[in-house]
Amino acid sequence: MSVMLQIDGLAKRFGGVKAVDSCSFEVEEGTITALIGPNGSGKTTAFNMITGYLKADEGRLDFRGETVSRPRPAPLYRRGLSRTFQQARIFPELTVEENLVVARGGSWTTMFQRRVSRKDHERAMRMLEEFGLSDLAGLRAADLSYGQRKLLEFASVLMSEPKLVLLDEPTAGVNPVMIDTMERHIRERHAAGTTFLIVEHDMQFVMRLCDPVIVLDRGAPIAMGTPSEIQSDPKVLEAYLGS
């Protein structure tokens, strides 16, 4: 298995707070890797640096065998790295279908002149079908339920056919049925060859879906292993109890 993403010595300080410090880990191609840790352990900050939404103070990032000297969201997206956010970022005033077309790179001009190519339309409809959202294609995204928006955001990031998808708390605030739906879609995409890195608080979800699991504490990994290794690691227990 080859390394999809390698993080080396990543660091970020906010004033006197070391949010991420000497943080190194890798994500192997073909895995569903989890990044967990107590509140404030640096997961979001690390995610934001990896995806180019926040500039790192120090550290190196290699993606698909190449060093990314200045990570920025759009070039990374074009190279095959996409992400979701804790609060789903979708375009509320566009329809469900239009959200997918825009995610694919359809320009805004095209969108507003309502000149969606047939190919883009078909691709979007296939994705909606895969996600069971076909009936909602013409609905404004603003009118979707919270869980449906998260699902739409997930479907949108898949439109670029990414190699690596970073999911930021995919189950947060989502009902149990929707959690199962989310899990099923992650599994399906994983089986089709997509690699995942997931920040998630729902430990049951993590333990049944992810392998390996990386545990952050105070900005750096303290453990990495299979779910059962992580669950029986005294360092991990201590980090959670001490938080």
* Shortest distance in whole angstroms from residue 37 CB to ligand ADP: 5
Give the residue, chosen from 17, 208, 226, 238, that forms a contact with ligand ADP under the rule CB under 6 A.
Answer: 17
Give the residue, chosen from 4, 5, 10, 19, that forms a contact with ligand ADP under the rule CB under 6 A.
Answer: 19
Residue 52 CA to residue 75 CA, distance in Å, equals: 9
Residue 40 or 73 with smaller CB distance to ligand ADP: 40
Length in residues, the chain: 243
Q: Does 41 bind ligand ADP (CB under 6 A)?
A: yes
Q: What kind and span of H or E run contains 66? A: strand 66-67
Q: Are 128 and 159 in contact (CB under 8 A)?
A: no
Residue 176 CB neighbour total at 10 angstroms: 8
Residue 46 or 100 with smaller CB distance to ligand ADP: 46
Residue 45 or 148 with smaller CB distance to ligand ADP: 45
Give the residue, chosen from 7, 11, 27, 44, that forms a contact with ligand ADP under the rule CB under 6 A.
Answer: 44
Among 6, 144, 160, 12, which residue's Cα sits nearest to residue 88? Answer: 144
Size of the site for ligand ADP (CB under 6 A): 11
Residue 90 is classified by DSSP as -
Query: In the complex, which residues of this chain contact ligand ADP (CB under 6 A)?
Result: 14, 17, 19, 37, 39-45
